[in-house]
Structure 1
């Protein structure tokens, strides 16, 4: 349970840091690439064996990490576009409701069982994520634009399901740091390739503020994945319960951090979502 709590803490810090990016005018695309480089280096430092780079491709999880790295960058950019065109709340809802995908795959692929209370908790969790996140007033949306949150939903769900699959079938406990480092390294390489290609049209601009922001983001980013992998090995809770608790608690805790640190205003609907989140956590974790 401690691993899950730490994953929730570090994941929530990521949202706080993104908020600070906006406050201090940090260029997100550059900071996010520095973040992946930082997370990769932290993973290497936490690996308790000498790192032999030529040995890494020999692991059966290597090609999976390359795909995950590409997904990290792609989904991030989709989230950015969704936030810009439809609002931050829509992007948040699409990301967190993606917990449905790993939950369903866990039931199908790993024959996981859900009690009535856990099933009720997961259904309440979906409602909690929606009501805790929605802040924008309703507005007319073009049908074409609706594809963005759908892609964010699918991409985020595929990432969570892939992490569970790799943890279940290919990655041993002592390999968690180097596995996570390789995923982040692949994401960093993808991001660097992206900005190099873009530099033909728009010159590169990298300053100290972007580097500092990327380092500040990279450390909690690494530990959010590292502790989630460890939490998935919990013998009491199955992956459906882990992903539900993780996503719902992140929404609840990051919302509370927004109130305390940034004086964000919370509507009655948001408070209702937080209450539903608490009930869903109790149902999933304790019944």
Structure 2
């Protein structure tokens, strides 16, 4: 539970940093590239992966290869989606990617669908729709097909990344080495992208990227630890993470950035809290009632 809470806090902190970064005119792509350099350094320092036996990574090479491509790729897709479609719809696509890892929990990871989890998952999806219910009629640009493609990319990208992190958690002690290789590959691809487009570096972007790297590393580390701690219940991690992020993000948005919360949003917050209770404490509640 503590790992899941820490991951939620770090994830929301990343979003807050990105929101502030835009006001400070920090180049997000440059910050993301630097973030992976910091993540590599922290992985080496904190996790100290064993690199003396590279053959240990062969069985899971496809995981870090996929993550190395998807991690920076989804950042770029998300940025373009925000530009062309808007923040509201892009954020909705990211949060509704919860459907893919939840489905994988039962179809791939063999989790048992209990009564409490079914109720919690249904409430979780209902809460997401309520929390993401906002009017957004402004035309941002791009054709309808391009906008749909970007939103589909955000939805599928974040969903697949969640599933891959669960697979990475199953690799045991080798996960730190897999994570290191994924970060290295992501850094190479991101810097290659920036150099290819002739990006001019800014000191603010480097500083912002260093902070982003620390938060992003802690977010991923605690998320994987949560999967390892709750290895028999991946749906709890998937749903709990998304619910926690959206609720905390909504509260911070209203409290610090003066974003409006409608009555439907407020109902979503309440529903999300009930969903988390069902996911974590259903059996305890049933024992109290009986």
TM-score by length of 1: 0.90
Q: Equivalent of 1:165, from 148, 164, 167? A: 167
The alpha-carbon deviation at position 142 of structure 1 amounts to 5.1
Aligned residue in 1 for 2:252: 257
* In the alignment, structure 1 residue 148 sits paired with structure 2 residue 150: yes
Aligned mates of 2:7, 2:156 — CA distance in 1: 22
Aligned mates of 2:8, 2:46 — CA distance in 1: 20
Q: Equivalent of 1:214, from 182, 187, 209? A: 209
The alpha-carbon deviation at position 175 of structure 1 amounts to 3.7
Deviates more, 1:257-266 or 1:244-253: 257-266
Aligned residue in 2 for 1:180: 179
The alpha-carbon deviation at position 50 of structure 1 amounts to 6.2
Q: Deviations over 1:110-131 (max 9, x none)?
A: 2211222211211221222232
Q: Deviations over 1:245-272 (max 9, x none)?
A: 0111011111212223222222222212
Pair 274,192 (structure 1): closer, same or farther in 2 beyond 3 Å: same
Aligned residue in 1 for 2:70: 71
Aligned residue in 2 for 1:241: 236
User: Quick check: 1:128–1:274 contact (8 Å CA) kept in 2?
Assistant: yes
Aligned residue in 1 for 2:134: 135
User: Quick check: 1:4–1:231 contact (8 Å CA) kept in 2?
Assistant: yes
The alpha-carbon deviation at position 154 of structure 1 amounts to 0.9
Aligned mates of 2:62, 2:107 — CA distance in 1: 24
Pair 47,279 (structure 1): closer, same or farther in 2 beyond 3 Å: same
User: Quick check: 1:11–1:250 contact (8 Å CA) kept in 2?
Assistant: yes
After the TM superposition, which residues 98-117 of structure 1 pair with which residues of structure 2 at under 5 Å, given as runs? 98-117=97-116
- Gap regions ≥5 residues in structure 2: 283-290
Deviates more, 1:263-272 or 1:6-15: 263-272
TM-score by length of 2: 0.89
Aligned mates of 2:66, 2:231 — CA distance in 1: 30
- Gap regions ≥5 residues in structure 1: none
Q: Equivalent of 1:226, from 221, 227, 237? A: 221
The alpha-carbon deviation at position 44 of structure 1 amounts to 0.9
Aligned residue in 1 for 2:286: none
Structure 1 segments of 4+ aligned residues over 6 angstroms from their partners: none
SS of match in other structure, 1:153: helix
Q: CA RMSD in A?
A: 2.0
SS of match in other structure, 2:228: coil
The alpha-carbon deviation at position 181 of structure 1 amounts to 2.7
Aligned residue in 2 for 1:45: 45
Pair 229,95 (structure 1): closer, same or farther in 2 beyond 3 Å: same
Aligned residue in 2 for 1:32: 32
Number of aligned positions between the proteins: 278
Aligned residue in 1 for 2:272: 277
